[in-house]
């Protein structure tokens, strides 16, 4: 892993970033393709996803399910997962959320960020992030000194350090895992919310994205949700149309539902071609004995 975080605070304008950011970190990690990926902004309150809307959709969509799986697969330091949990608790109520949803398994490729933030239950929040939690901020977090934050990242000028309160911290488990590997081990029964957000446009090629969508298509059932990021949407040509060829339909802002009934017959040859190409690439990689 390579890390470049010499400056503890940054002042880059909000307009130049893809989201409101709780920390800024530049590093690289090898993923399941055997490729070094740059990993950077860890974000909490993003304008490209309405957490309350996501919670409402989940409540209405998964009424018949005893268990709902929320799976942030590039979850970074956990701040976005905390935002989702805040909305889930408001929408479902504590008893129902604890019984049906928690713990949320948060995974990320970056070992350092999982070990130093998520597993330790510490986070940096800016003013907008604090406002998002509202009165629940003091319910779920205790303020702490900025010196408590790991010295492996830079933080915004308005950042404050917080530790998760023990009861709230119990709602999350953190694992180091590349999202392709996690997808391969996912067992979905139509009761899942899979989040892979704002990373695909940064360093993934078109054929690698095709591999991802092919794997996603193999494991995700009707009724489950796939949540993307606004940055990926804006910077990957025809990304939404490609999702539609795999049977995804947008049901909320950047929230897509899997429903095989929306498959287009015209799209089937394209999907078969992508699957053939994906299998071909994987065979080539296997022949060179790459480690994934």
**What are the tens digits of pLDDT across the range 240-276?**
999 999 999 999 999 999 885 444 343 444 445 545 5
| Residue spans of beta strands (DSSP E) within the chain | 2-3, 9-10, 21-23, 27-30, 36-39, 42-43, 69-72, 104-108, 122-125, 141-144, 155-156, 160-164, 172-176, 192-195, 225-227, 248-252, 255-258
**What tokens were used for 73?**
């697969």
* 5 — pLDDT class (breaks 50, 70, 90): very low
Q: What is the CATH number of the domain that holds 249?
A: 3.40.50.150
Alpha-carbon gap, residue 43 to 128, rounded angstroms: 11
Tell me if 284 is assigned to some domain: no
Q: What is the pLDDT of residue 229?
A: 94
The single-letter DSSP state of residue 160 is E
Percent of the chain with pLDDT over 90: 62
Residue 199, pLDDT above cutoff 70: yes
Alpha-carbon gap, residue 99 to 112, rounded angstroms: 31
Tell me if 276 is assigned to some domain: no
Tell me if 271 is assigned to some domain: no
193, β-bridge pairs: 70, 225
Place of tokens 């713990």: 103
Tell me if 99 is assigned to some domain: yes
Alpha-carbon gap, residue 60 to 71, rounded angstroms: 18
Tell me if 275 is assigned to some domain: no
Query: Among 30-34, 61-65, 216-220, 229-233, whose mean pLDDT is lowest?
Result: 30-34
Q: How many domains does the chain have?
A: 1
Q: What is the pLDDT of residue 17?
A: 32
Range of the domain at 185: 2-261
Cis peptide before 3 (omega within 30 of 0): no
Mean pLDDT of 95-114: 96
Tell me if 273 is assigned to some domain: no
β 255-258/225-227 pair status: antiparallel
β 155-156/9-10 pair status: parallel
| Summary mean pLDDT of the chain | 81
Tell me if 280 is assigned to some domain: no
Tell me if 289 is assigned to some domain: no
Residue 8, pLDDT above cutoff 90: no
């Amino acid at each position: 892993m390579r890390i470049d975080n010499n400056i503890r605070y940054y002042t880059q304008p909000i307009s130049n970033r893809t989201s409101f950011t709780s920390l800024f970190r530049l590093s690289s990690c090898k993923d399941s393709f055997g490729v070094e990926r740059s990993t950077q902004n860890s974000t909490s309150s993003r304008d490209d996803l309405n957490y309350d809307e996501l919670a409402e959709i989940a409540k209405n969509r998964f009424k018949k399910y005893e268990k709902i799986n929320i799976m942030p697969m590039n979850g970074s330091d956990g701040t976005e997962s905390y935002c989702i949990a805040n909305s889930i608790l408001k929408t479902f109520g504590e008893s129902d959320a604890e019984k049906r949803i928690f713990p949320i398994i948060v995974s990320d490729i970056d070992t350092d960020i999982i070990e130093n933030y998520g597993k330790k239950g510490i986070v940096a929040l800016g003013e907008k992030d604090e406002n998002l939690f509202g009165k629940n901020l003091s319910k779920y977090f205790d303020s702490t000194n900025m010196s408590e934050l790991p010295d492996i990242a830079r933080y915004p000028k308005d950042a404050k350090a917080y530790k998760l309160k023990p009861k709230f911290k119990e709602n999350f488990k953190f694992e180091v895992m590349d999202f392709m590997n996690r997808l391969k081990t996912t067992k979905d029964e139509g009761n899942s919310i899979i989040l892979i957000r704002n990373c695909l446009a940064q360093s993934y090629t078109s054929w690698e994205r095709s591999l991802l969508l092919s794997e996603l298509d193999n494991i995700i059932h009707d009724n489950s949700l796939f949540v993307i990021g606004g940055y990926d949407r804006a910077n990957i040509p025809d990304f939404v149309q490609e999702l539609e060829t795999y049977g995804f339909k947008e049901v909320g802002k950047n929230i897509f539902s899997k429903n095989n009934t929306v498959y287009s017959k015209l799209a089937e040859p394209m999907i078969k071609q992508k699957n053939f190409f994906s299998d071909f690439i994987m065979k080539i990689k296997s022949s060179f004995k790459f480690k994934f």
